[in-house]
Chains A and B, each alone.
Chain A
């Protein structure tokens, strides 16, 4: 087991390095640069080219690509993510600031989505082709194919503008004391939108993996032994059906910290998704790279965790 874990970790390091090379190249080869993105053309016409060149030089944008990559990597290896090209704030600090709100939002949504999705999926597998199965299937496809920006705006208009029950956006009501109830009110709409997107995912996976388990010989054996249906389902089928779900949850983990760009932006939730949105719009290279690096690391770590859990759950994997 220990050897297996070590091998998996060792593979992750070169993968991360390749990610930095690709990310750095792509981000820098895209047209535009932070200085141009910062200054609107009208102001630019009145500033003069010297001032603009001076700013580019100050940010090191005139160095060759390879030199910039080298400098950047050296700083990263020392644990320094650098400073935003636009605001001058420390990138490490900015990312740390956003992890809390994102964790709160995504954690709630993913937990709810999993807690609702898995039982529903299992139920619809057990009662395959029943009205419940059809209903959850239709709901699942509807929920997964409605774009979150549309759902978000529709909710906002209905619940905040029309009914006035909930605040439109943000994390708290400005100008009043912070309170948990206020926070929950602000969370309801974005969490619902994200939960609706997440539920069908775990539901469909749970359904198909339960269906597959039900078709296995050991289930038939258990039934033929005369065990009660409940015990067959819970102890024999469900246990084995849950193993593939580790993958689904593993895939969701990076989202937990990476955030949801569109939902966060619409509801003005100050998390990682919004930070990424702003970084890209402002061509803030160091910030974009910092976010990509953190997200890539999260994906690798989540995959690692999922693989290790798999190995725990299914001893066959360890020996392959």
Chain B
């Protein structure tokens, strides 16, 4: 068994404060054998594969904070670290399909309220301790405890008895059931397919934590606990070695990974500014960079070293209209007709994206057909404005978070095209915190331009942005658009498990949004990755967590 004392010794050893002999003696005093230690810190000699050139180096923007608390992960960088070290019950493959991870398989009841997981057998933690269903139950119970401050708590409270447990009215969570040693059944208060999906950081699929390490640490102390600052015991393909703030995180292969030892012995996640990353990619110092600007990608495509991957994105580039300020849908439709969106897409992203006509854009079974594509038609736009008796003297203010390059390129063109149809737009970029305040915390804006979201993962993601009871600041409905018919459809759509039954519902959802355009839908931008040609095993698809199969990546 490994405890905090031993973890601290390992930290000292890796920071070169003590030598190997002191480490082994100290650990023996704490009851940990030398062989268990080797599993944790690796053999004394550096393995051959760890020599120069053998390690995969991945670039990351400096959006990174040293917070490895599984319940409080909020950035892409943290998610990547956690995904390498820990497992979840399920994960997404490159096509955004849920596949087994620490659960070997799963079943969903037809009304999407009961989820049965078959826990994988034979998995061990990085320190050799067997992984069991108890670790899963421990993690879910901890996340549902108020002191943990878990981002997923809101979602987990849908579990039957979850709210009572959260409010300390009960010691048990009725809907979290251990059927036998390998079967976990989760029952929700009501049907909701959204329980399983959503953005990876805050959904119900938590990174499963080791009970034998964290079980004794009070939840309020997790932030400063050694095992959170240095998460050396996980179940993932890679083991945590060290984190050097503002520099890198080092990982080494977990030889006992349940899908077989990873093909590459060592991985570094390096932090650098986007401009620096481009240089590193070109010089071969990193093997992958994400979120490349389209123009840079085009330039790099001619390089001998770099290969560019264009993957469909999950987000939507869109302009939310605060509907109480622009209640007439004809005005919003006029804005759609009045903009040459394909030309804008070509200019801003060199065509690297696809036009969208509602927020229902995937997965494949949910893609709607026959929507109005609002082809560029300034005459129609003028007609609609005339019908709506729009006052051409009225000015609408368009805000965005300063520094969002794509908006900065697109907004002046939009402003120009709106002027041509007789609609005055004032551009009002704001510093990110001020923007967040004006758009979400204390809504006071006419139009707001933003991107992102995980719409392609499941059509239910749309519900977060348009349900009547999800108005900002409480929810994600920035437009304050409310349509009872749409609400009913969205609720029905999430209470069914079968895609075939859900598809027609979301067709109707898409039609309503396409007609009412509370949000001007522009496009879904491609995710552009730059990859060193030596790096093999990367699979393309819309999953932004492209490292989901990192155990198969290698340099050849």
Report the bound CA distance from A50 to B156 in whole Å.
13
B250 in contact with A47 (CB, 8 Å): no
Q: How far is the CB of B306 from chain A (nearest CB, A)?
A: 11
Report the bound CA distance from A169 to B246 in whole Å.
12
B246 in contact with A45 (CB, 8 Å): no
* Residues A144-189 near B (CB distance < 8 A): 153, 156-157, 160-161, 164, 167-171, 173-176
With an 8 Å Cβ cutoff, the count of chain B residues facing the other chain is 72
A100 sits at the interface (CB 8 A): no
B279 in contact with A160 (CB, 8 Å): yes
Q: Which residue of A lies closest to B55 (CB)?
A: A175
Chain B residues lying within 8 Å of A170, measured Cβ to Cβ, are: 247-248, 270, 272
A97 sits at the interface (CB 8 A): yes
> How many residue pairs between the two chains, A and B, have CB atoms under 8 Å in the bound complex?
173
Max chain B Cβ within 10 angstroms of own Cβ: one of A39, A43, A283: A43
A86 sits at the interface (CB 8 A): yes
A87 in contact with B464 (CB, 8 Å): no
With A31-B434, A168-B276 known as contacts, the answer to whether A47 contacts B151 (CB < 8 A) is: yes
Q: Which residue of A lies closest to B280 (CB)?
A: A168
Partner of B279, one of A31, A157, A174, A277: A157
Q: Which of A6-14, A225-233, A265-273 contacts B (4 or more CB under 8 A)?
A: A265-273
B151 in contact with A51 (CB, 8 Å): yes
* Residues B171-214 near A (CB distance < 8 A): 198-199, 201-203
Partner of A174, one of B270, B282, B315, B476: B270
A54 in contact with B146 (CB, 8 Å): yes
A49 in contact with B246 (CB, 8 Å): no
Report the bound CA distance from A38 to B181 in whole Å.
38
A64 sits at the interface (CB 8 A): no
B266 in contact with A175 (CB, 8 Å): yes
A314 sits at the interface (CB 8 A): no
How many A residues touch the partner, as a band? 35 or more
Partner of B453, one of A36, A42, A267: A42
Chain B residues lying within 8 Å of A47, measured Cβ to Cβ, are: 151-152, 154, 202
Partner of A36, one of B150, B245, B436, B450: B436
B271 in contact with A32 (CB, 8 Å): no
Interface 0/1 of A72-101, CB less than 8 Å to B: 000000000001101111000010010000
Partner of A88, one of B154, B223, B476: B223
Chain A residues lying within 8 Å of B432, measured Cβ to Cβ, are: 32, 37
A168 in contact with B202 (CB, 8 Å): no
Partner of B465, one of A45, A84, A267: A45
With A42-B452, A161-B283 known as contacts, the answer to whether A174 contacts B475 (CB < 8 A) is: no
A174 in contact with B55 (CB, 8 Å): yes
Q: Which residue of A lies closest to B282 (CB)?
A: A161
A43 in contact with B199 (CB, 8 Å): yes
Partner of B285, one of A32, A33, A167: A167
Chain A residues lying within 8 Å of B50, measured Cβ to Cβ, are: 175
Report the bound CA distance from A274 to B244 in whole Å.
13
Q: How far is the CB of A309 from chain B (nearest CB, A)?
A: 34
Report the bound CA distance from A148 to B152 in whole Å.
43
Interface 0/1 of B466-490, CB less than 8 Å to A: 0000100111100000000000000
25 contacts between A and B (CB under 8 A): A31-B434, A32-B433, A33-B433, A41-B450, A46-B199, A46-B476, A48-B155, A48-B474, A48-B475, A49-B474, A50-B153, A51-B149, A54-B153, A55-B149, A83-B223, A83-B224, A86-B65, A87-B67, A88-B224, A88-B229, A164-B283, A170-B247, A175-B268, A266-B275, A268-B62
Nearest 4 pairs of A and B residues by beta carbon:
A45-B476, A32-B433, A48-B154, A88-B223
